[in-house]
Amino acid sequence: MSSNTRAVIRAKLGHKIVLAAIATACLTGLLIFVLTRFSNRKPFQKVMCDSSKIKNPESCSCPSGETQSSNGNCVQTFGGSCEKSIDCEDNLVCHSGKCICRLLDQKYSKGKNFCISRIGGPCIGSFGCPELSFCKKFVFQEYGMCQCNGGFLVSPEGHCEGSYLQSCSSLVPCDSISGLACIDGFCRCQNFGWFDEGRRVCLGLVGSTCDLSLKEESSCVENAECLRQHPKLPPTCTCKQGFSVDATYTCEEWSKK
């Protein structure tokens, strides 16, 4: 065998050895990566899914700021970025790139994960109405309108508040339109007054302070008027001429005594 032939054989063998060394190094590196990447993973650890589909709730969760929809997809919650309504929670729509309630006068409840309508607004089943109210369904339908429970009245904000003598607490407010306050666990007039259910207002009993600025309707009980007895005294509810105060602090005609 000539010296040239032996040189060629040695070169080819050296090339193969180099390729084998490179391949071995690559496989070793890949093995190290796999072992360090997955060896410490615990069973059922909460990790992100490779796809947006939640295949195994015990070992997979949605990214922060997203939630699981009814069909198992990870979707945006209220206020999240979106392109289409399908990117949002089931009862939200995509508007101007944000997930919001379908109706402008609805408010999103984080506790219920649902858009809440005002009293008189639309509802479906038992969902979509504020506290102390219910969904009054239309005949043969699953949807309806939100109405306050018995003993409660709608507030200017569209939720429900306790009417006169309704039980109340820090979580159950009293009728703000009437000016009622929660006193000893019941909704009562704040001042020395009597509640007029028809007008939905607390009227001052005889001797209580009153508001002279009310021209059309008196702030005092029937047959009484708001008068200032002295320039330095506050105006008070006083029986009109021909009437006198009785034991209930209302006004009674003289002829009936």
Total domains present in the chain: 3
Q: Is 242 among the domain residues?
A: yes
Please check whether residues 87 and 128 belong to one and the same domain: no
Which of 170, 190, 210 is the last residue before a domain boundary? 190
Please check whether residues 101 and 67 belong to one and the same domain: yes
Q: Which residues does 29 contact at the CB level (< 8 Å), separation at least 6? A: none
CA distance 91 to 128: 10
Which of 55, 85, 105 is the last residue before a domain boundary? 105
Q: Is 16 among the domain residues?
A: no
CA distance 95 to 102: 9
CA distance 95 to 79: 10
Whether the Cβ atoms of residue 148 and residue 172 lie closer than 8 Å to each other: no
Q: Is 35 among the domain residues?
A: no
One-letter amino acid at 126 equals S
Q: What is the pLDDT of residue 130?
A: 93
Q: What is the pLDDT of residue 67?
A: 84
Which of 171, 190, 209 is the last residue before a domain boundary? 190
Task: Give average pLDDT by consecutive 10-residue segment, the chain, 257 residues.
Answer: 51 51 44 32 34 52 80 87 91 93 88 90 86 93 93 95 96 94 95 91 93 78 92 93 94 77
Q: Which domain holds residue 198?
A: 192-256
For every residue of 190-242, DSSP letters joined together read SSSEEEETTTTEEEEPTTSB--TT--SS-SB-TTEEEE-SSTTS--EEEEPTT
